A and B are shown apart, each in its own frame.
Chain A
């Protein structure tokens, strides 16, 4: 007899659907990674075969490390992503705290105004942003990218975090006030640890588009010294000849840092120390 909460056919069915989806979703990544270890010929002859002793070739990786300054590109990408992420989380959380905690005139309007950014793509303003950066002399600096990405990430961060902050117990904040904690201490020591899972969610959603972006690095910071990985990989894409080994190798390498960051944040998603604070 089947149990109340699970039946074998259902479990198998659910897993079959989920596994199929996982395979479909991961397949492109898998193909990129296996082909990055193959010779150019093998890539085109048997694109779906894993690298064999005969077809195994690290030419893609040697090209990547030989041509261009990929370590610098990686460093640029990391700096831009991490610094933007830091500012998005810091300012987003602060704005969200103010919106959810304090009653002031225009609170709702301010919240709506900040949420509006979710619906309007920042790329519509590219020309104006470029003019602004030229005028302020920030073209070809990482600062330009960090500023743009911070602005791009804030609306969603504020929207998600303010919902979560409304859920933080008022009693806890008031207990802090009675104990003489400043509003900053209440924010950093009491509220932030409690919304850590939400912060991790926002971090993941903010991080990936920044890491993968090609548009703004290409327009605002295309110089050799400020190139990011995605922009750096473009040198192998020619109008007539494309160095697929190098591109696949560069893309495989670009997955790594973002994967590590994701793993760090997803641990935070699972962990939660809120239990026991309030009933």
Chain B
């Protein structure tokens, strides 16, 4: 009971077209992540789904019911915001209860749902506190709790982890993943962080400049990017793009991921000079200025010592190189 269908949704703010025709199908129980660079329209799309913005044209259907003209409170959705957006004058319990009371739920039912949600998110000790007395992680859990008690058809998350510090981010990410498994609810999650996208999503929607670039499972996007943008956006460090002409290839651009390159001090395909190395412990990133390929990044597993200025040869894994035509499309 939580499918979503978006048909040719467009959104303009004055002369600026933010969404240029989005079509999307989300099945019941799916975890879908919208990912893209800032300004790509992912948050706007989420707000159109929530009903906080009106689409300029197109239709939004939740459970095959058209909701394009339905106010947010009647759409059966719940939203978790980046800034938590808790009501500062209400206690944690009242924060969670407000939406239900507004919808006219019976007091007993409200109590039951709050108890269930606060147990699930281990919020019981804080129910009487106000948001000001909570830490960032606790506040975000309250915000999630406020969404859970509504028992919505659709959970919407708007960059919920961006305000948390790195350690807390990993924990909360885990909690959201568990929440999805337990509730089996449909969730839509917006982020600019590809790690969050890869780790949480059943299905990733990559957006760029108001258009969907590709929809697919995380590994699908990694192994078979539809175009140069997706190839560059998914994966860290970023894929190396090399001018096809310089390599004597017929295509416009050749792409190879840093982890699909090997280095050798004696022999290899591309001869280059070490510009800089980054030691991360588990792996090492080497920046090579190659005669043929230009500046490329190589990711080596484990520790690798390379003096800046020394010569190294990089060899791409031929089965894992990508070719893109002049439009940026992947050539099979």
Contacts and interface: CB of A to CB of B under 8 A. Distances in A.
**Size bracket of the B interface:** 20 to 34
A60 B72 CA distance: 66
A116 interface: no
Contacts of A169: 83, 85
A237 B47 CA distance: 66
Which of B77, B99, B134 is most buried by chain A, counting CB atoms within 10 A of its CB? Answer: B99
Contact of B98 (A172, A179, A194, A276): A179
Contacts of A29: none
Contacts of A174: 47, 50, 52, 72, 79, 81, 85
Interface in B193-217: none
Nearest to B53: A174
B133 A177 contact: no
B192 interface: no
Given A175-B79, A178-B78, A180-B73, A278 B99 contact: no
A276 B86 contact: yes
B87 A190 contact: yes
B163 A178 contact: no
Contacts of B322: none
Nearest to B104: A180
A177 B88 contact: no
A275 B139 CA distance: 12
A169 to B, nearest CB: 6
Contacts of B131: 276-277
A278 B84 contact: yes
Interface in A146-165: none
Contacts of B332: none
Given A276-B139, A279-B163, A193 B88 contact: yes
A251 interface: no
A181 interface: yes
Contacts of B136: 279
Given A171-B81, A177-B73, A181-B102, A276 B134 contact: yes
Contacts of B99: 178-180
Given A175-B81, A276-B131, A180 B87 contact: no
A203 B74 CA distance: 38
Given A175-B85, A275-B132, A277-B131, A180 B103 contact: yes
Contact of A278 (B73, B78, B85): B85
A276 B130 CA distance: 8
**Size bracket of the A interface:** 20 to 34
B71 A177 contact: yes
Interface string B111-138: 0000000000000000000111110100
A277 B86 CA distance: 5
Given A181-B102, A193-B89, A276 B81 contact: no
B223 to A, nearest CB: 36
A120 interface: no
A274 interface: yes
B311 interface: no
Interface string A250-276: 000000000000000000000001111
B82 interface: yes
A175 B96 CA distance: 11
A251 to B, nearest CB: 41
B36 to A, nearest CB: 20
Interface in A174-198: 174-181, 189-190, 193-194
Contacts of B77: 178
B85 A172 contact: yes
Given A193-B88, A194-B88, A171 B82 contact: yes
A194 B85 CA distance: 13
B88 A276 contact: yes
Contacts of B87: 172, 175-176, 189-190, 277
Closest 7 CB pairs of A and B: A276-B132, A180-B73, A179-B99, A277-B88, A171-B85, A171-B81, A278-B83
9 contacts: A174-B47, A174-B50, A175-B81, A178-B72, A178-B78, A179-B73, A179-B102, A180-B102, A275-B132
Interface of B: 47, 50, 52, 71-74, 77-79, 81-89, 98-99, 102-103, 130-134, 136, 139, 146, 158, 163
Given A174-B52, A190-B87, A194-B88, 20 more contacts: A169-B83, A171-B81, A171-B82, A171-B85, A172-B87, A174-B47, A175-B85, A175-B87, A175-B146, A177-B71, A178-B73, A180-B102, A181-B102, A193-B88, A275-B88, A276-B130, A276-B132, A276-B134, A276-B139, A277-B88
